Structure 1
Amino acid sequence: MVGNIYYAQALIGLISTDLDMHGGMAGFIVTVTQLGYGAGLLFLVSLADLVENRLLVLLTLAGTAIGLAGAAMSGSATTFLFFSFAIGFFACGAQVLVPFASHLVPAASRGRTIGNVMAGLLTGIMLARPLANLVASEFGWRAIFWISAGAMLVVLALLRIALPLRRPHGSMGYGAILKSMAHLLVTTPALQRRAIYQGIIFASFNLFWTAIPLLLTERFGYSQRQIALFALAGAAGAAAAPIAGRLADRGHTQRGTAIAMITLTIWFLVAGWAGTAISIAALVLSAIFIDSAVQTNQILSQRIIFSLNDHARGRLNAVYMTIVFLLGSAGSALAAATYFYGGWWATAASGAALGLLVLLIFATERKAV
């Protein structure tokens, strides 16, 4: 479900060429999808406290399938961008399943169950790009959207059978839910800071993975299959997830956050050198460490967010993820613009600058504490 918002990121060069998009505008292919996801997090995920949950999940799956089919049939940039927004908007159903799963199991196994669901989300994010490239290398860029549309219908049928009904017991109306989310944001400094940290870091993540297919195609002469293998190697960054969890359990959240930000900054500079020196080994290592930094900060941040208020975890997560994806979507647009106008070094330097910026913001928290 969550992988749907990353397919276009891997195929930005093919899609922009086929739909005749200007080089500097190509980043909006990814940006629009992520803006849709942010809007869905805010306006759809919050409905989980109001609408029967199984129905909500099934409707989001149906909407995602329609968006994917529309993108696959698009003959113009405008049409593709419209359906890209729809894909992002309805793909947020994955975030409805996380709290839903916690209601289906006893408290003793709740953490493990949520961990399994989050592992699925992480797997979808990390494998979406290599899968899209492999499919595109054989059948063209439109094929992955058709395949995923069919997969969403299969998942819809399975979940219709497997999921029980769950009707929320809260008495709040939709307007009150949205208002309470705004109140949580205004009155919770930890939520504000962690959302800003991860939003900027996620922007750098999108910056890297939006521009890297362009670099690998133009300077390294890679085919779509070779780009897929590169993305698959970068997925090794997911190994940082359990390490981050142990750091948080042992009370090293602040230290782990600083390490993630410093790692991000350093390896963007290494990536800049690797792109110009045509060093694929250094570029692969950069991808692994950048992904590791992003995942580490995400896990550390969510641990803090979920500990703020046991009765508002869903809304806290919706606010946090909305801000993260809205800020992160700017990274995709920045990638296309910097690469088109300044080349790979401009893109890599922008990523390092984002890492330095978030580190400076984090330093003010440390001084305050």
Structure 2
Amino acid sequence: MAVGSGLSVASLYYVQPLLELLAREYGLSDTKAGLLVTVAQLGYLAGLIVVVPLGDHHERRKLLTITSALTALGLLAMGLSHSFLMLVAFSIMVGISCVTAQILVPLAAHLASDDKRGSAVGTVMSGLLLGILLARTFSGVMAELAGWRSVFIVAAVLMAGYSVACYKILPHLVPTSNTSYRTLYASILHLFRDEPVLRRRSLIGGLQYAVFGIFWTAMAFMLARQYDMSEAMIGMFGLIGAIGILAARIAGRLADRGWARLSTGGFLMVTVSSWGLLYWGQWSLVAFGVGVVLLDLGIQGAHISNQSEIYRLNPEARSRLTTGYMASYFLGGACGSASAAVSYGMGGWPAIVALGSSVSILCVVIWAVTELRFPVKRMRQ
């Protein structure tokens, strides 16, 4: 499950180190090239809303096999695209189908015992986070060695292999819901209405992922122009950020011990602290690298803490809880990516730092006002 989560979600992020290269090839502005990330995330948002709730309603092994196969086809089509519009269209297709990871995470929570649920989610999320971060390294190296098309073609082969593995290895599980589709989708809104923890954690998660999108969308432009880095060198910063994967295991264990509430605030403040170093990253790669590590530690730790809390709410609706939370999460990411593309075009890296640090501080304020004021609602008996 960890491997599959990493492979599927990586499909969203292969394009980020390639933005400068694609802007040159297709004669695009920074803003227009950056929107390629935004449309993929909006596709992912659509997949979260439409596809992920089916994990409560359908046999999950079959659903995972289909979504993995569709992602492989979409990636292959991206690698064979001959225009920017085709690339955009197939990016949306990949975004919709690569929600495989968000079906696997609640599946892990479903299979784990109560006292190990945080660790189980943390383990699968470790794979997911590693996929997000190493996607950039893989993409940058492959683009330099064999051109940008090779990135998507090789990724398509890997996803096709995982689709076969899903069918052969994953267990058969009886669906947890037999309601109509209309009731199934309407219940997502009811969960938001009835679960204050879901509302609060979704708001914090969405803003945190906006910070993530702000940084990673603009990073390629800054490193390429300030340090004249190649795509491979830019992608290597994914390896540095991968240290943030430690936060997933730590956050999972803290959640199992009942510390998810306070640890969330700690992770949010780590994110805030990263932006000072990222600002000085214009002149020091050491400062920039340390800032990347802190940023990812903070964002990923808060994310795991959020998920550990929402999966305690309603065991029979974990896929729908995932939809509610992750839809908010990726809506925030799409807004972050779009605002980064515009902000960098208007004010360069200082504008990105100002935007990212402001949203990070807002997350801390919201956590302090909501999580410290209201009691945590535990799982219904």
TM (norm. structure 1) is 0.93
User: Secondary structure of the equivalent of 1:11?
Assistant: helix
Aligned residues: 367
Q: Alpha-carbon deviation of 1:99? A: 3.6
Does 1:8 pair with 2:15?
yes
User: Secondary structure of the equivalent of 2:267?
Assistant: helix
1:27, 1:333 within 8 Å by CA — same for their partners in 2? Answer: yes
Q: Tell me: CA distance 1:247–1:161, structure 2 relative to 1, closer, same or farther (3 Å).
A: closer
Q: Tell me: CA distance 1:72–1:305, structure 2 relative to 1, closer, same or farther (3 Å).
A: same
Does 1:292 pair with 2:297?
yes
Q: Tell me: CA distance 1:241–1:98, structure 2 relative to 1, closer, same or farther (3 Å).
A: closer
Does 1:133 pair with 2:140?
yes
Q: Alpha-carbon deviation of 1:229? A: 2.2
CA distance in 1, matches of 2:362, 2:118: 34
1:273, 1:345 within 8 Å by CA — same for their partners in 2? Answer: no
CA distance in 2, matches of 1:201, 1:279: 25
Match of 1:30 in 2: 37
1:76-126 deviation per Cα after TM superposition (whole angstroms, max 9, x unaligned): 222111111111110002222234456668889877655443332122112
1:26, 1:333 within 8 Å by CA — same for their partners in 2? Answer: no
One-letter amino acid of the structure 2 residue matched with residue 132 of structure 1: S
Gaps of 5+ in 2: 1-7, 375-381
Q: Tell me: CA distance 1:294–1:102, structure 2 relative to 1, closer, same or farther (3 Å).
A: closer
Q: Alpha-carbon deviation of 1:367? A: 6.0
Q: Alpha-carbon deviation of 1:167? A: 4.1
One-letter amino acid of the structure 1 residue matched with residue 300 of structure 2: Q
One-letter amino acid of the structure 1 residue matched with residue 30 of structure 2: G
Q: Tell me: CA distance 1:107–1:197, structure 2 relative to 1, closer, same or farther (3 Å).
A: closer
CA distance in 2, matches of 1:205, 1:156: 29
Q: Tell me: CA distance 1:274–1:163, structure 2 relative to 1, closer, same or farther (3 Å).
A: closer
Match of 1:213 in 2: 220
Match of 1:147 in 2: 154
Q: Tell me: CA distance 1:365–1:107, structure 2 relative to 1, closer, same or farther (3 Å).
A: closer
2:177, 2:316 within 8 Å by CA — same for their partners in 1? Answer: no
User: Secondary structure of the equivalent of 2:228?
Assistant: coil
Which segment drifts farther, 110-119 or 325-334?
A: 110-119
CA distance in 2, matches of 1:333, 1:105: 37
Does 1:354 pair with 2:327?
no
User: Secondary structure of the equivalent of 2:179?
Assistant: coil
User: Secondary structure of the equivalent of 2:15?
Assistant: helix
1:233-277 deviation per Cα after TM superposition (whole angstroms, max 9, x unaligned): 1211222222323433444333322222222222213211221xx
**Percentage of matched positions with identical amino acids:** 37
Gaps of 5+ in 1: none
CA distance in 2, matches of 1:286, 1:79: 35
1:195, 1:324 within 8 Å by CA — same for their partners in 2? Answer: yes
Match of 2:52 in 1: 45
89, 92, 95: which one aligns with 2:96: 89
One-letter amino acid of the structure 1 residue matched with residue 136 of structure 2: R
Q: Tell me: CA distance 1:294–1:180, structure 2 relative to 1, closer, same or farther (3 Å).
A: same
TM (norm. structure 2) is 0.90
Match of 1:223 in 2: 230
Q: Tell me: CA distance 1:324–1:216, structure 2 relative to 1, closer, same or farther (3 Å).
A: same
Q: Tell me: CA distance 1:207–1:363, structure 2 relative to 1, closer, same or farther (3 Å).
A: same
Match of 2:5 in 1: none
Q: Alpha-carbon deviation of 1:20? A: 2.7
Match of 2:179 in 1: 172
1:27, 1:334 within 8 Å by CA — same for their partners in 2? Answer: no
2:188, 2:320 within 8 Å by CA — same for their partners in 1? Answer: yes
CA distance in 1, matches of 2:157, 2:224: 29
CA distance in 2, matches of 1:111, 1:368: 23
CA distance in 2, matches of 1:224, 1:170: 46
Q: Tell me: CA distance 1:164–1:241, structure 2 relative to 1, closer, same or farther (3 Å).
A: closer
Match of 1:335 in 2: 340
Q: Alpha-carbon deviation of 1:339? A: 1.2
One-letter amino acid of the structure 2 residue matched with residue 327 of structure 1: G
CA distance in 2, matches of 1:196, 1:356: 14
Match of 2:327 in 1: 322
One-letter amino acid of the structure 2 residue matched with residue 152 of structure 1: M
CA distance in 2, matches of 1:32, 1:60: 19
200, 225, 229: which one aligns with 2:207: 200
2:310, 2:321 within 8 Å by CA — same for their partners in 1? Answer: yes
CA distance in 1, matches of 2:309, 2:107: 20
